[in-house]
Amino acid sequence: MTSSPRVLVIYNTSNSNRPMGDPSVWYRCWGLSELLEEGGARPHLLGQQQLDDEFVAAFDYAAYDLYVFFRPAMTPALANFLLECDRHRRNVAASYDDLTFVVASWMMSSTLKSGQQRFRAVEVYRAAANAFDYFDRFVVSSPQLGQRIRCIKPHASVALVENALPRSYAAYADMVGRSERVRDRVGYFGGGKSHGADLALVAESLRTLCAETGARLLCPDYLTDFLPAGHGIAVERFERANMVGLVALHGRCRIAIAPLVVDDNAACKSSLKFVEAIAAHVPLVATPLSAFEPYRSLATLVEVQQDADWADALREAWDLAADRELVARERSQALAILDGGRAAGRAAVLAWIDP
């Protein structure tokens, strides 16, 4: 492998005007680029929307040693670009953070749950599945996702690169988490409208905790409608937040929650919600995921089965959060585990580059 391998990360997002406003692009592309750069590589980013016929014809394919395509969707231009990569003997890999490459999973997709039309969801998944067939190297965000890929392609080479906050944001989260301020909120940072059913799972347990402790639920404005009528929970709403805003919001919370209605897509989710929370010194109560396995020795990760009563778990985390020294110590342990895993993932990715 060259001393400073060159890597082009090509992202696919519907948010073409502001791609870094897509959290998946931020974590899976910018985050991967930062990780590779720390390992001595020279990464660059490019949007798949830029791959038109003129670009494909004029591009210098020898300029990069490895091409990583995040959520590639098959188009004529992408097909031609991949053919040119093959003709120039370039190394290519696909990167995924969900099951977009499995057409049958479209009914569980956030695209559909967010209110998009059925044909649009099917179209997105079919284009992704067609692109998936081209690759035999994959970067994934969770072990379960890697297993699903190997079920389809048993001989695939899979590199696990967990999601993480960029270094500067992790440092900011540490500062926010150490600040002396009142923390009387339960934070829910689930994402888009597709997560409304997840929040509804724990409404009754949240009501109990709020009644006992005076806690308030800090929640995206667009998800509060999914709470049952007469829920009796004190709610503080916030508008969609960028990365800095998300870190700051965690700083108001004593604990965070990540309930999930478990389906194939949910089972493939990464450990990100725990990583985001513990970076800001906030314990997490969550539905169990295989991605949590490395952190299960930590008291700041409280896992609860989907059909269990969350009230006791919420109270356990609430009481534990009072021990700020314990939380700070486990933060350091969690980030050390994360860094070790990501370093191994980086080594696996860079090993794909020819000597």
Query: What is the chain's pLDDT, residue by residue, as a tens digit (355 residues)?
Result: 567 999 999 999 877 777 766 788 889 999 999 999 999 999 999 999 999 999 999 999 999 999 999 999 999 999 999 999 999 999 999 999 988 888 765 454 555 444 455 666 778 888 899 999 999 999 999 999 999 999 999 999 999 999 998 888 899 999 999 988 778 999 999 776 667 778 888 889 999 999 999 999 999 888 888 887 778 899 999 987 778 888 999 999 999 999 988 888 889 999 999 999 999 999 999 999 999 999 999 999 999 987 778 999 999 999 999 999 999 999 999 999 999 999 999 999 999 996 5
Domain locations along the chain? 6-161, 167-338
Same fold: 6-161 with 167-338:
yes
CATH 3.30.1380 given to domain 6-161:
no
Contact of 19 with 47, CB cutoff 8 Å: yes
Residue 41's nearest CA partner among 10, 3, 11 is 3
pTM assigned to the model: 0.91
Residue 108 Cα distances to 5, 24, 121, 259, angstroms: 38, 18, 10, 16
CA dihedral 72, 335, 254, 186 (to 10 degrees): 20
- What does the pLDDT read at residue 93? 98
Contact of 25 with 141, CB cutoff 8 Å: no
Q: Which long-range contacts (CB under 8 A, 24 or more apart) does 174-179 make?
A: 174/279, 174/280, 174/281, 174/331, 176/247, 176/248, 176/250, 176/251, 176/280, 177/250, 177/251, 177/279, 177/280, 177/281, 177/282, 177/327, 177/328, 177/331, 178/281, 178/328, 179/251
Fold of the domain spanning 167-338: Rossmann fold (3.40.50)
- What does the pLDDT read at residue 113? 47
Q: What is the DSSP string of 102-142?
A: -GGGGGG-HHHHTT--HHHHHHHHHHHHHHHTT-SEEEESS
